[in-house]
A = this chain, B = another copy of it.
Amino acid sequence: MQFNLDQSSARPVYQQIIDSIKREIALGRISKGQKLPTVRRLAAQLIINPNTIAKAYRQLESEGIISTRPGSGAFVAQLNSTLSHAVRQKIITEKIELLAVDAIHMQIGRPTLQTWLSDTLDRFQFTTAEPDNDSQPNPTSENPND
């Protein structure tokens, strides 16, 4: 697992870790049941304090993204939002609004914006996003425990 931290960024380090892990999952590079680096190991790799990693893991677990077990480690959980559809729509729509405002002020036109969104979605695992699930072969060493 490879992370690119930007210590000079205004975005907090623990938030950058959250972003990175969620991105890896969304890209399909790590999938359900797979083990994440340990708190201390990832902290040593990134040369930051273990508490910062622990904070990121704590929040990821509260969001249901990962599942942690003392003694074992942290594992990627199922892609299963606990929020209602209405709440999810509200959250996403608000983010879309902020995006639209920025795009307008940068004079990005509607077709351009839609093209960029489409190009971005192509790079993610967006075919399996909704409750349907196709059987994709997974040759990686998966850990089927629940």
Contact = CB atoms under 8 A, between A and B. Distances in A.
Interface residues of A, number: 48
Chief secondary structure at chain A's binding surface:
helix
A101 interface: yes
Number of copies of chain A assembled together:
2
Nearest to A23: B101
Nearest to A103: B92
A48 interface: no
A95 to B, nearest CB: 5
A109 interface: yes
Interface stretch (A29-37, A38-46, A51-59, A123-131): A123-131
Closest 5 CB pairs between A and B?
Answer: A109-B130, A26-B104, A26-B101, A88-B106, A96-B120
